[in-house]
C-alpha cells in the first residue's frame, strides 16, 4: 500500500470528542530534546451517529498496518543485507488508533512542531478551521481560541509508514483540525480562577481525587509547580467540572 501521493494517504476522521488536545502549544513531555508535537486525539463513542464511519476508518487502518509492517521489515532487512550490516530484531510499534472499551474508537494524529533540514529549523503547525471552514489557525496560535478537552472536532491526517531504528509501524501525521463545538481549555479555566490560598477541584460527582495526579496535570498544562506557586490543590476534575474555594 506504499504510496507517495498525499491525496491517496489523506484521511479525515468523523466528528468526535477531543481528548487533551495540544493545538495552542505543542506537547513537549516526551520530546527528549527533539521536537515537541501538536496532538488532537479524537474519540467517537459507540452511541454516536458517526460510529459506523469510525469503524470503517479503523478497519482500513488496521488492514494498512497489517500489510505495511511485514513489508517494511522485509525491505529494511534486504537493504541491510546488501550493505552487509547486522540485521536487528525489528519490532512493530503501537498503533495510534484503536478501540477503548468505555470511550469508543479513537484516532491520535500528531505533528512535530519543527524539523531540521540543511542546518535550518523549519517550523510547522496544523491548520485549524471553524465549523464553516474558515481558517482560525492564527487565533489558536495567539491563544485567542484555546481548544480544550471535550470540544467537538474532526481531524485530517496523512498515513505515514516508518522504520526508525528497530521500530516499524504506521503513524498518523496531523494536518488539520476542524472545530465544530468549543470547550474551554484547562488554561482558560486556570486564568479565571482568583488568586487564592486554597483551590479545590472536584469532578462532576463531587468526588475528591488524588493530589499527586493534579500536581502532575498542572505541571504539564501550565508549566508550573503548584507547591512553589503557593496553591493547594485537593483534586482534579476529569469530567471537566470545576469548583473553586478561596479563603
Q: Is 104 exposed, middle or buried (0-12, 13-18, 19+ CB in 10 A)?
A: buried
pLDDT at 98 over 90: yes
Q: pLDDT of 189-214, one tens digit each? A: 444 444 433 344 444 444 544 444 44
Question: How do 37-44 and 16-27 pair as beta strands?
Answer: antiparallel
Compute the mean pLDDT over every residue in the chain, rounded to the nearest whole number.
Answer: 80
User: CA-to-CA distance for 12 and 70, rounded, in angstroms?
Assistant: 26
For 116-130, the pLDDT digits (tens) are 888 888 999 999 999
pTM of this prediction? Answer: 0.74
pLDDT level of residue 133 (50, 70, 90 thresholds): very high
- Rounded to an integer, what distance in angstroms lies between the CA atom of residue 151 and that of residue 19? 8
Alpha helices, H only, the chain: 6-9, 51-82, 137-141, 186-192, 211-222
Q: In 10 A of CB 125, how many CB atoms?
A: 16
Amino acid at each position: 500500500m506504499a504510496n507517495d501521493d498525499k491525496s491517496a494517504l489523506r484521511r479525515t476522521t468523523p466528528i468526535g470528542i477531543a481528548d487533551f488536545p495540544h493545538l495552542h502549544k505543542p506537547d513537549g513531555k516526551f520530546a527528549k530534546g527533539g521536537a515537541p508535537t501538536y496532538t488532537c486525539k479524537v474519540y467517537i463513542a459507540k452511541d454516536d451517529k458517526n460510529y459506523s464511519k469510525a469503524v470503517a476508518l479503523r478497519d482500513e487502518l488496521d488492514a494498512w498496518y497489517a500489510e505495511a509492517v511485514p513489508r517494511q521489515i522485509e525491505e529494511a532487512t534486504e537493504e541491510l543485507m546488501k550493505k552487509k550490516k547486522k540485521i536487528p530484531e525489528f519490532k512493530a510499534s503501537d498503533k495510534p488508533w484503536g478501540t477503548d472499551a468505555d470511550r469508543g474508537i479513537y484516532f491520535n494524529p500528531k505533528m512535530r512542531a519543527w524539523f531540521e533540514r540543511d542546518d535550518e529549523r523549519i517550523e510547522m503547525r496544523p491548520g485549524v478551521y471553524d465549523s464553516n471552514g474558515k481558517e482560525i489557525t492564527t487565533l489558536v496560535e495567539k491563544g485567542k481560541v484555546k481548544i480544550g478537552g471535550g470540544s467537538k472536532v474532526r481531524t485530517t491526517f496523512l498515513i505515514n509508514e516508518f522504520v526508525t531504528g528497530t521500530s516499524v509501524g504506521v503513524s498518523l501525521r496531523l494536518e488539520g483540525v476542524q472545530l465544530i463545538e468549543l470547550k474551554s481549555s484547562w488554561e482558560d479555566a486556570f486564568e479565571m480562577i482568583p488568586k487564592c490560598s486554597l483551590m479545590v477541584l472536584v469532578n462532576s460527582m463531587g468526588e475528591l481525587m488524588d493530589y499527586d495526579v493534579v500536581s502532575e496535570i498542572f505541571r504539564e498544562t501550565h508549566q508550573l509547580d503548584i507547591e512553589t506557586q503557593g496553591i493547594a490543590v485537593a483534586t482534579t476534575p476529569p469530567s471537566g467540572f470545576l469548583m473553586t474555594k478561596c479563603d
